[in-house]
């Protein structure tokens, strides 16, 4: 299929519409929060790369100072190759347990714009979200800030909508911010199936109804996108195709997308 034929095909059009709807939830400043293991960092990286394709001045801020593993700072070289600037803990990528934040983060947050978008990857749970409270005045003053609450219904602590909501409310209290949109990132890593993704739709809608927080999109792994996209769209929800970018040191690591 030629690029022109691909652009004109109904399948491509539907996929483009879904992506545009998902991207509409991004702000010039996009903050990603959630429970440990919800896939926040992987989502933050995907969003940063997506924004970098539309701007040569995208940044990602690593605010995870409670967990020395699976940080956005660990992928500084790959992000730099994609024209994404990284600001994070001074000792990020070293696995030391007492990192401090590098200077310039508040300026980057304050000056985030559509031309210079910023993604903030926050540590998990209320403990990790406390670092965000340091920047609450800048977040509150920003006119285009989105706070995405990421939920993985396969995690035991957030398997039920009530439990997931309790975690999000705890994050809001600790950070002084409000979650503006929900993101469903239900997965079981390599064992994620179409049923894993689709079975999360009902509790996601229940969570949105109970919390009053709208759903931004459902994350769908590239390998499952063609299988589940239509069924998710039929539920009135948008999808965001995501790649697995965060891996353990012993797992295959390929950023050739």
pLDDT for position 65: 74
Beta strands in the chain (DSSP E): 29-34, 58-63, 84-87, 118-122, 145-151, 181-184, 215-221, 239-242
C-alpha 138: how far from chain center: 20
Copy the structure tokens of residue 45: 């990286």
User: Which residues on adjacent β-strands are paired with residue 145?
Assistant: 29
- Tell me how far CA of residue 173 lies from CA of 62, 166, 168, in angstroms: 20, 11, 9
Copy the structure tokens of residue 132: 């965000």
Query: Directed axis angle between helix 161-175 and helix 125-133, to 10°?
Result: 30
pLDDT for position 15: 41
- Please name the helix (run of DSSP H) or strand (run of DSSP E) that holds residue 161, with its range, or none: helix 161-175
- Tell me how far CA of residue 132 lies from CA of 64, 100, 138, 226, 257, in angstroms: 9, 13, 10, 36, 31
First-to-final CA distance of the chain: 19
For the sheet with 239-242, list strands across it: 84-87, 58-63, 118-122, 29-34, 145-151, 181-184, 215-221, 239-242
Kindly give the parts of the chain with pLDDT less than 50.
1-17, 92
Neighbouring C-alpha atoms within 13 Å toward the C-beta of 231: 14
pLDDT for position 57: 87
pLDDT for position 96: 53
The CATH classification of domain 26-242, taken from the options 3.30.450.70, 3.30.1300.10, 3.40.50.300, 3.40.50.2000: 3.40.50.300
pLDDT for position 14: 38
Task: Express each pLDDT in 79-110 by its tens digit.
Answer: 888 889 998 776 545 555 555 666 789 899 99
Task: Express each pLDDT in 228-257 by its tens digit.
Answer: 999 999 999 999 999 989 877 667 666 655
pLDDT for position 73: 77
pLDDT for position 10: 33
pLDDT for position 9: 35
What pTM, to 2 d.p., does this model score? 0.86
């Amino acid at each position: 299929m030629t690029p022109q034929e691909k652009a004109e095909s109904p399948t491509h059009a539907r996929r483009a519409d879904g992506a545009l709807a998902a991207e509409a939830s991004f702000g010039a400043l996009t903050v990603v929060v959630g429970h440990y293991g919800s896939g926040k960092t992987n989502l933050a990286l995907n969003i940063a790369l997506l924004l970098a394709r539309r701007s040569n001045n995208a940044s990602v801020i690593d605010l995870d100072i409670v967990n020395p593993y699976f940080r956005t700072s660990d992928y500084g070289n790959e992000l730099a190759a994609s024209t994404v600037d990284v600001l994070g803990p001074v000792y990020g990528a070293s696995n030391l347990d007492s990192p401090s934040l590098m200077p310039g983060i508040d300026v980057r947050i304050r000056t985030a714009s559509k031309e210079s978008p910023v993604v903030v990857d926050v540590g998990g749970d209320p403990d990790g979200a406390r670092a965000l409270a340091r920047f609450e005045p800048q977040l509150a003053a920003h006119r285009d800030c989105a706070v995405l609450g990421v939920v993985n219904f396969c995690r035991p602590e957030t398997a039920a909508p009530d439990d997931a909501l309790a975690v999000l409310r705890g994050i809001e209290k600790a950070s002084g911010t409000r979650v503006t949109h929900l993101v469903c990132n239900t997965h079981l890593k390599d064992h994620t199936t179409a049923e894993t993704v689709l079975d999360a739709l009902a509790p996601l809608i229940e969570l949105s109804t109970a919390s009053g927080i709208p759903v931004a999109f459902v994350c769908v792994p590239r390998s499952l996108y063609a299988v589940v996209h239509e069924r998710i769209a039929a539920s009135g929800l948008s999808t965001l195709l995501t790649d697995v970018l965060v891996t353990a040191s012993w797992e295959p690591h390929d950023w050739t997308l």
